[in-house]
Structure 1
Amino acid sequence: MTTKTTHGRTSTTRYRTSGWLAFAGTVALVIGAFNVIDGLVALFKDGYYLVNENQIMVFDYTAWGWIWLIIGIIQIGVGAAIMAGQMWARVLGVIFAFVVAIGHLAFLVAFPLWSVLTISLCVLLIYALTAPPPGSRAD
């Protein structure tokens, strides 16, 4: 809640709470956790995925492991900030959801079910972050 004075009168502005933003923060935390798990598995258990390293698009498993681990940690922080009602986190949440969905398209050959699930959650996250009314908060 904020208070401002205009021409001698004090007005109080109340932010509307949004279940969508609380949901979006939770989904961002889940996607971040999924990406951390992806990263750790790619770094420490090479034989887990369905294809050889030379069949995965763009990078080898070690590079993918570090990419997913770093993005996952950032997404967990963004998810917490979304739940705290930070507008910058909503913007970063949409950007990271888009990047992760595209990244999982490249990773689709390695682990199809996990990638399809993560892409679906990213689409849901983008909707949840863009659907709430302006000025709404997750608390």
Structure 2
Amino acid sequence: MTASRIPNTTGWLSFAGIVAIVVGVFNVIDGLVALFRTDYYLVTAQDILVFDFTAWGWIWLLLGLTQIAIGAGIFAGRTWARAAGLAMAVVVAIGQLAFLRAFPVWSVIVIALCVLVVYALTAHPHAEP
């Protein structure tokens, strides 16, 4: 066991890795929809915060691909992935708050999954060092 690997004795890290991958896939889907089917959303591009659908599409696509890679790292027990996963879950949850008007149900589901990732990465059961 090396210093860059965290032993997964309780399953919380596996859970966090799987949920992070699922959130990443959801963000990739969200990005592709924003790029190719802007009429799918509930509001027009002028009604969402900060950017238009093309910019949000690229943002969600890149964040989603990054989150999938981080989720795989968490699942493998990498220390860097645990810290990056925590930061990425917070960034994605804040981004979904800004994108909330476009598709509220999807955003609330992704925010809830991000909260699960944060909890799973910060939970310290007795069996885990």
TM-score, scaled to structure 2: 0.91
Q: Per-residue deviation at 1:108?
A: 0.4
Q: Work out the CA distance in 2 between the residues paired with 1:16 and 1:35.
A: 26
The more displaced of 15-24 and 38-47 is 15-24
| 1:110-132 deviations in Å (ceiling 9; x for gaps) | 00000000000001100000113
Which one-letter code corresponds to 1:33 in the other structure? V
Correspondence 1:66 to 2:63: no
Q: Give the structure with the higher percent strand.
A: 1
SS at match of 1:17: coil
Q: 1:16 to 1:66 in 2, by over 3 A?
A: closer
Match in the other structure for 1:40? 32
Q: Work out the CA distance in 1 between the residues paired with 2:21 and 2:113.
A: 11
| 1:71-121 deviations in Å (ceiling 9; x for gaps) | 000000000000110011000001000000000000000000000000000
Q: Per-residue deviation at 1:16?
A: 5.2
Match in the other structure for 2:11? 19
Q: Give the structure with the higher percent helix.
A: 2
Contact 2:8 2:128 in 1 (8 A): yes
Consecutive unaligned residues of structure 2, counting only runs of 5 or more, are: none
Identity rate of aligned residues, in percent? 63
CA RMSD between the two structures: 2.0
Which one-letter code corresponds to 2:15 in the other structure? F
Q: Per-residue deviation at 1:18?
A: 2.4
Q: 1:16 to 1:38 in 2, by over 3 A?
A: closer
Q: Work out the CA distance in 2 between the residues paired with 1:59 and 1:76.
A: 24
Q: Per-residue deviation at 1:134?
A: 9.4
Q: 1:74 to 1:135 in 2, by over 3 A?
A: farther
Correspondence 1:54 to 2:30: no
Consecutive unaligned residues of structure 1, counting only runs of 5 or more, are: 3-13
Contact 2:8 2:14 in 1 (8 A): no
Q: Work out the CA distance in 1 between the residues paired with 2:127 and 2:66.
A: 24
Larger radius of gyration: 1
Q: 1:134 to 1:58 in 2, by over 3 A?
A: farther
Show structure 1 runs of 4+ deviating over 4 A: 133-137
